[in-house]
Chain A
Amino acid sequence: MNEHATVSLSIEPERYELREARAYVFELTRRDLFKFLGAGALFFCANTKTIALQESGRGQRRGDDMPKDIGAWLHIGEDGKITVFTGKVEVGQNIRTSLAQAVAEELHAPVSQIELVMGDTLLTPYDMGTFGSRTTPTMNLQLRKVSAAACDLLKDIAAKNWSIERDRLAAANGKIVDPISKNSATYGELLKGREIAQIIPDQDPLLPATEWRVAGKSLAKADGRDFVTGVHKYPSDQKLPGMLYGKVVRPSKFQATLISADTTAAEKMPGVIVVRDGDFIGVAAPSEEIASQAAAAIKTEWKAEPQPSSKNIFDYLRKNPERRESTNSPADQGAQATVRGSGQQLLATYTVEYIAHAPLEPRAALAEWEGDKLTVWTGTQRPFGVREELAAAFHIPQESVHVLMPDTGSAYGGKHTGETAIEAARLARAAKKPVKVVWTRKEEFTWAYFRPAGVIDIRASVDSSGRLEHWEFTNFNSGGSGLNTPYAAEVRNEKFQPTKYPLRQGSYRGLAATANHFARESFMDELAHQAKMDPLEFRRKNLKDERLRAVLEAAAKKFGWPGVKKSSEQGFGIAGGFEKGGYVATCAEVTVDRSSGSVRVARLVTAFECGAIVNPDGLRNQVEGANIMGLGGALFEAIEFEDGRILNAAFSKYRVPRFKDVPAIETVLIDRKDLPSAGAGETPIVGVAPAIGNAIFNATGVRLRSLPMVPNGLRIS
Chain B
Amino acid sequence: MARVISLLVNDTPSKVDADARSSLLSILREQLELTGTKYGCGEGQCGACTVLIDGVAHRSCLTPAADAEGKAITTIEGLAKNGRLHPLQEAFLAEEAMQCAYCASGMIMSAVGLLQTDANPTESKIKDSLEGNVCRCGTHPRIVAAVQRAARIMKGGTS
Contacts and interface: CB of A to CB of B under 8 A. Distances in A.
Given A229-B85, A289-B26, A625-B139, A650 B41 contact: yes
A220 B93 contact: yes
A636 interface: no
A360 B75 contact: no
Interface string A229-241: 1111110110100
Interface string A198-228: 0000000000000000000000110011011
Contact of A93 (B37, B96, B99, B130): B99
Interface string B94-116: 00101111111100100000000
A234 B136 contact: no
A220 B127 contact: no
Interface in B36-72: 36-43, 45-46, 48
A660 B26 contact: no
A124 B126 CA distance: 43
A652 B44 CA distance: 9
Of B21, B98, B130, most buried by chain A (CB within 10 Å of CB) is B98
Contacts of B39: 236, 362, 438
Interface stretch (A1-9, A19-27, A404-412, A592-600): A404-412
B93 A228 contact: yes
A361 B99 CA distance: 13
Q: Which of A227, A228, A360, A629: most chain B Cβ within 10 A?
A: A228
B134 A287 contact: no
B26 A237 contact: no
A659 B131 CA distance: 5
B62 to A, nearest CB: 12
Contact of A224 (B33, B37, B93, B138): B93
A441 B102 CA distance: 14
B152 interface: no
Interface string B26-40: 100110011111111
Nearest to B144: A659
B119 interface: no
Contacts of B35: 230, 233-234, 236-237, 239
B54 to A, nearest CB: 20
A707 interface: no
Nearest to B143: A659
A229 B100 CA distance: 14
Nearest to A625: B138
A357 B102 CA distance: 15
A438 to B, nearest CB: 7
Contacts of B9: none
B134 A658 contact: yes
A360 B93 contact: no
Count class of interface residues, chain B? 35 or more
A621 interface: yes
Given A657-B138, A659-B130, A659-B131, A621 B99 contact: yes
A627 interface: yes
B131 A660 contact: yes
A583 to B, nearest CB: 20
A362 B38 CA distance: 11
Nearest to A414: B136
Contact of B102 (A409, A624, A629): A409
A410 B102 contact: yes
Contacts of A652: 43, 45
A651 interface: yes
A617 interface: yes
A628 interface: yes
B153 interface: no
A341 interface: no
A662 interface: yes
Residue among B37, B92, B101 facing the most chain A CB atoms (10 A cut-off):
B101
A409 B105 CA distance: 12
B93 to A, nearest CB: 5
A229 B99 contact: no
A358 interface: yes
B141 interface: yes
Contact of B101 (A92, A288, A659): A92
Nearest to B109: A230
Contact of B141 (A94, A289, A626, A662): A662
A66 B141 CA distance: 40
Nearest to B46: A651
Nearest to B130: A659
A424 to B, nearest CB: 16
A260 interface: no
Contact of B79 (A92, A229, A440): A229
A221 B98 contact: yes
B45 A624 contact: no
A408 to B, nearest CB: 7
A77 interface: no
Nearest to B80: A229
B4 interface: no
Contacts of B40: 360-362, 441, 651
For A220, A239, A409, which residue has the most chain B Cβ atoms within 10 angstroms? A409
A628 B128 CA distance: 17
A412 B136 CA distance: 9
Contact of B127 (A224, A617, A659, A665): A659
Given A658-B134, A665-B141, A224 B98 contact: yes
A360 B103 contact: yes
Contact of A360 (B100, B127, B130): B100
28 contacts: A93-B99, A228-B85, A228-B89, A228-B98, A229-B85, A230-B37, A230-B75, A231-B77, A233-B35, A237-B35, A289-B19, A359-B136, A360-B40, A360-B48, A360-B135, A362-B40, A409-B102, A410-B102, A410-B137, A441-B40, A621-B96, A629-B136, A651-B41, A651-B45, A652-B45, A659-B131, A659-B143, A659-B144
Given A228-B108, A360-B136, A628-B138, 5 more contacts: A94-B99, A229-B76, A230-B105, A360-B103, A662-B138
The list of the 5 closest CB pairs from A to B, nearest first, reads A230-B36, A92-B100, A628-B138, A409-B102, A625-B138
Interface of B: 19, 21-23, 26, 29-30, 33-43, 45-46, 48, 75-77, 79-80, 85, 89, 92-93, 96, 98-105, 108, 126-128, 130-144
